C-alpha cells in the first residue's frame, strides 16, 4: 500500500514525501480514507504509530476542499482536544508541518501561559484549533473561541483525558458544538468508560484497532533489574556510564523524586533535567527542548511525559520507580521503539514494587526478563515497605504493592498523578474535590491562621 492509494491530494503527497515517509503506517492506511469519506472514527492505536499524521493529513484535505467550495469567512472548523499541554503543542506543530504549503491557519491554546497572545491569535481567525480542555473553556467563557461552526472534532488520548478528570469539560465542549459534525476519537486503551463516551459521541464509527489493547510495542525490548530501593540511583548512574547511554528518559513516581534524581545524576557528571507538573510551563518547555536538542543526556519525568510525546530517536526508557497503574507502564515504554526504531525499556524494581511488577506482567500476559547486576544484587534481609510512607502522601499508608491495592491507595495515587497533569489555571478548577483533598485544604487553612495569630 502506498500513500498514493489513500486519496490524498498532490499537495499533501508532496508533503508526505518531504517528511521522508515512504509507506503509510497501518493506522494511516485505515484512517485516511475513512476520514476523507467523512466517517466517524474510533481509533485504538499504540503510541508511535503515526496516528497524528493519520488524522491530520485527511483533516487538512477536507478543510481545503471546503475552502475551495467557498464556505465563507475563516472560523474554527476543526477542533483537536488533547489532555496535556505538551501533546497539544506537539500536535499543533504537526498540523503546521503537514499544512505548511496550505492557506489554512492553526493555533494552540493551553494553560500555564499568558492568555492574551492566544486571544490575539484567535481573533485574527483560525481554521484549526488545538487545545487542552481547561484553557479552551476559559476562551469560550471570554467569548474568544467560537465553537458553534466546528465541522470536525478530534479527541486525542481520550483515555488520559478521562483519567485526568476532564470528562465534565469534554461534555461541556461537546455541548457547544453543532450537532452535525464528524467525530474522531483516539485512545491508547479501550476501557469501558471510553466505550461509553464513544457511544454517546460517535455515529456509526469505523473502528480501527491497530494494536491489541494494552500491549507493549514489539520493537521495545524490556528488562527488569532487581535492586534495593536505596541503590537505584547508584545503579542507574553506573548503567548510563558503562553503557554510554546518551539519551535516556527516566520515570519517577513523584515530582520531588524527579527533581532529586536529576540533581543527583548531574552531580555525578550526567547532565540531567526534570519535567513535571510543579514546574512552570516555560520550565517544562525548556526541559523538553534541552532534551530534544541533546543539551542534557537524561530527562527525569513524572507520568506527564509518558503520553503522546514524540521524542525522535529515543533509545532508552527507564522506570526508576515502577508505576502502580499497569497501563502507565505501556505508555512510558512506548516513548521508545517509535516509528520503526528499536528501543530498550529498563525497570529498576525494589522489593516494595514486586506487586506492581506482577500486575504489569499480568496485564501484558508476559514475563519480563529479570536480572541483577553483579555488585548490585538485592539484600535479602531488606523487608518490603509501603510505597506511600516513603512518598509522604498522607495517611493512607496501610498498603504496599504486595496486596491488591485498596481503594484509599488508588485514590491517593490517582490524585497525585492528576495534580501533575493539571492544565487549568488555579482559578478555574472546577473538578470535584475528594474528602481527602478537602481535609488537606482545611488543615492548610488552620495552619495559615495559626501562623498569623502567633
Q: Which is nearer to ligand AMP, 190 or 356 (CB)?
A: 190
Helices (H), 70-204: 85-98, 116-123, 133-141, 158-163, 167-175, 192-201
Q: Does 1 bind ligand AMP (CB under 6 A)?
A: no
- Is the CB of 85 or the CB of 338 nearer to ligand AMP? 338
Buried b (16+ CB within 10 A) or exposed e, 418-441: eebbbbbeeeeeebeeeebeeeee
Check binding of 338 to ligand AMP (CB under 6 A). yes
Of 15, 44, 49, 401, the residue at the interface with ligand AMP (CB under 6 A) is: 49
Q: Is 82 in the site for ligand AMP (CB under 6 A)?
A: no
Number of residues that bind ligand AMP (CB under 6 A): 14
Among 30, 51, 247, 331, binds ligand AMP (CB under 6 A): 51
Q: Which of 6, 8, 12, 25 binds ligand AMP (CB under 6 A)?
A: 25
Min dist CB 209 to ligand AMP, Å, is 15
What are the distances in angstroms from CA 57 to CA 16, 63, 116, 264, 378?
A: 9, 10, 30, 43, 51
Q: Which stretch binds ligand AMP (CB under 6 A): 18-26, 241-249, 318-326, 382-390?
A: 18-26
Q: Tell me if 334 contacts ligand AMP by CB under 6 A.
A: no
Q: Is 50 in the site for ligand AMP (CB under 6 A)?
A: yes
DSSP result, 318-373 = EESS--SSHHHHHHHHTTSS-TT--EEEEEEE-GGGHHHHHHHHHHHTSPPPEE--
Is residue 48 at the binding interface for ligand AMP, with CB under 6 A as the rule?
yes
**Cα 29 to Cα 24: distance, rounded to the nearest angstrom:** 6
**224: Cβ contacts below 8 Å, ≥ 6 apart:** 346, 347, 349, 357, 368, 369, 370, 371
Count of CA atoms in the C-beta half-sphere (13 A) of 289: 7
Span from 51-59, 159-167, 395-403, 414-422 in contact with ligand AMP (CB under 6 A): 51-59
**Does residue 331 touch ligand AMP according to CB under 6 A?**
no
Q: Which is nearer to ligand AMP, 90 or 319 (CB)?
A: 90
Binding residues (CB under 6 A) for ligand AMP: these are 21, 24-25, 28, 48-53, 310, 312, 338-339
Amino acid at each position: 500500500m502506498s500513500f498514493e492509494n489513500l486519496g490524498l491530494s498532490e499537495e499533501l503527497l508532496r508533503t508526505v514525501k518531504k517528511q521522508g515517509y515512504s509507506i503509510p503506517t497501518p493506522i494511516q492506511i485505515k484512517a485516511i480514507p475513512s476520514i476523507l469519506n467523512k466517517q466517524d472514527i474510533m481509533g485504538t492505536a499504540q503510541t508511535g504509530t503515526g496516528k497524528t499524521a493519520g488524522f491530520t493529513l485527511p483533516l487538512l484535505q477536507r478543510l481545503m476542499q471546503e475552502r475551495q467550495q467557498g464556505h465563507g469567512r475563516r472560523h474554527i472548523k476543526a477542533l483537536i482536544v488533547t489532555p496535556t499541554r505538551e501533546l497539544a503543542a506537539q500536535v499543533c506543530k504537526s498540523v503546521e508541518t503537514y499544512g505548511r504549503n496550505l492557506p489554512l491557519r492553526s493555533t494552540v491554546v493551553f494553560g500555564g501561559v499568558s492568555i492574551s497572545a492566544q486571544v490575539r491569535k484567535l481573533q485574527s481567525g483560525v481554521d484549526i484549533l488545538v487545545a487542552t480542555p481547561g484553557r479552551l473553556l476559559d476562551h469560550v467563557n471570554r467569548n474568544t473561541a467560537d465553537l458553534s461552526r466546528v465541522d470536525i472534532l478530534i479527541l486525542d488520548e481520550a483515555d488520559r483525558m478521562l483519567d485526568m478528570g476532564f470528562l465534565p469539560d469534554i461534555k461541556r465542549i461537546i455541548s457547544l458544538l453543532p450537532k452535525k459534525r464528524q467525530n474522531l476519537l483516539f485512545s491508547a486503551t479501550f476501557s469501558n468508560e471510553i466505550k461509553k463516551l464513544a457511544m454517546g459521541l460517535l455515529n456509526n464509527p469505523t473502528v480501527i484497532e491497530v494494536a491489541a489493547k494494552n500491549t507493549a510495542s514489539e520493537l521495545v525490548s524490556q528488562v527488569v533489574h532487581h535492586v534495593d530501593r536505596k541503590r537505584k540511583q547508584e545503579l542507574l548512574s553506573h548503567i548510563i556510564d558503562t553503557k554510554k547511554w546518551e539519551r535516556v528518559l527516566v520515570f519517577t513516581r513523584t515530582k520531588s523524586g524527579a527533581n532529586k534524581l536529576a540533581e543527583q545524576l548531574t552531580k555525578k557528571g550526567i547532565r540531567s533535567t526534570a519535567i513535571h507538573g510543579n514546574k512552570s510551563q516555560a520550565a517544562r518547555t525548556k526541559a523538553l527542548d534541552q532534551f530534544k536538542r541533546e543539551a542534557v543526556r537524561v530527562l527525569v519525568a513524572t507520568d506527564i511525559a509518558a503520553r503522546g510525546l514524540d521524542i525522535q530517536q529515543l533509545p532508552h526508557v527507564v522506570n526508576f520507580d515502577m508505576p502502580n497503574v499497569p497501563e502507565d507502564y505501556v505508555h512510558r515504554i512506548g516513548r521508545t521503539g517509535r516509528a520503526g526504531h528499536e528501543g530498550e525499556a529498563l525497570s529498576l524494581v525494589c522489593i516494595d514494587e514486586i506487586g506492581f511488577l506482577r500486575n504489569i506482567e499480568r496485564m501484558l500476559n508476559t514475563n519480563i526478563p529479570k536480572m541483577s547486576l553483579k555488585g548490585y544484587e538485592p539484600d535479602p534481609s531488606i523487608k518490603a515497605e509501603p510505597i506511600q510512607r516513603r512518598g509522604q502522601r498522607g495517611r493512607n499508608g496501610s498498603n504496599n504493592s504486595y496486596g491488591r491495592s485498596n481503594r484509599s491507595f488508588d485514590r491517593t495515587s490517582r490524585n497525585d498523578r492528576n495534580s501533575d497533569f493539571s492544565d487549568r489555571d488555579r482559578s478555574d478548577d472546577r473538578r470535584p474535590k475528594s474528602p481527602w483533598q478537602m481535609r488537606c485544604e482545611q488543615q492548610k487553612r488552620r495552619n495559615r491562621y495559626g501562623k498569623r495569630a502567633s
